[in-house]
Amino acid sequence: MKREITDWNRRRRQARAVQHASRLRLLRRIVALGVTLGDIAGKWWIFGAGLIIAGGELGTRFLLDFVLAWVFGVVFQYFTIVPMRGLSLGKGVLQALRADTLSIFAFQVGMSVWALLVYFVLSPSPHLKVNEAVFWFMMQIGMIVGFFTSYQSNILLIRAGWKEKMPSYKSEMKSTVRKRNPEEQSAA
């Protein structure tokens, strides 16, 4: 009877581990979505409002994209880190800032370099507008470039323990949750 209860508890913990890892993967996608939303919102805001800072649309776009991507990214990161680590509001905000600032900066640098290349080399005159499909195609390429430029910074942040590694396999999911749950470690 005791063995059956132990097996049942072990299976229940494993099921929770898989659910936790699935939630973790979903939350990581949501954080990436936050940065993307910041970039998209900034582009349409500039286009719709005709917003210009320091006399040029390109500089305005870069500045607003970075600020909005950073704000959205940190907010979404906050809502991922706090439940996983059980942090207070202040500590959660600091952890989110620490976990996302470098990677968002690296992402935006890669995307901005691609935008400069498109702006000055691939489409020097007339420049692409936000309401054109080619603009959004080039934006997608820029996001891919941003992914590659932020890859190394994300590895660095994971190794430093500032960011969580996203589990990719079931066995890895189980071991990730085991590391976090001291109750399960003592039972093993």
Would you kindly state where each structural domain of the chain is located, as residue ranges? 2-183
Joined together, the tokens standing for residue 166 give: 């996203």
Arithmetic mean of pLDDT over the chain? 76
Q: Would the pTM count as exceeding 0.75?
A: no
User: CA gyration radius for the chain?
Assistant: 21
- The answer on pLDDT for 94 being more than 60 is yes
| Per-residue model confidence as pLDDT tens digits over 57-69 | 777 788 888 888 8
Segment among 40-49, 110-119, 137-146, 151-160 with least mean pLDDT: 40-49
Q: What percent of the chain has pLDDT over 90?
A: 20
pLDDT for the residue numbered 118: 93
Rounded average pLDDT over 92-96: 91
Task: Say if residue 95 is exposed, middle or buried (CB neighbours under 10 Å; 0-12, 13-18, 19+).
Answer: buried
Q: How confident is the model at residue 184 (pLDDT cuts 50, 70, 90)?
A: very low
Q: Which contacts (CB < 8 Å, 24+ apart) does range 160-168 have?
A: 162/95, 162/98, 162/99, 163/99, 163/100, 163/103, 164/24, 164/80, 164/81, 164/84, 166/24, 166/25, 166/28, 167/21, 167/24, 167/25
Rounded average pLDDT over 25-42: 60
Residues present in the chain in total:
188
- The answer on pLDDT for 15 being more than 80 is no
Q: How confident is the model at residue 148 (pLDDT cuts 50, 70, 90)?
A: very high
- The answer on pLDDT for 136 being more than 60 is yes
Instruction: Classify 125 in phi/psi space as left (phi over 0), alpha (psi -120 to 50) or beta.
Output: beta
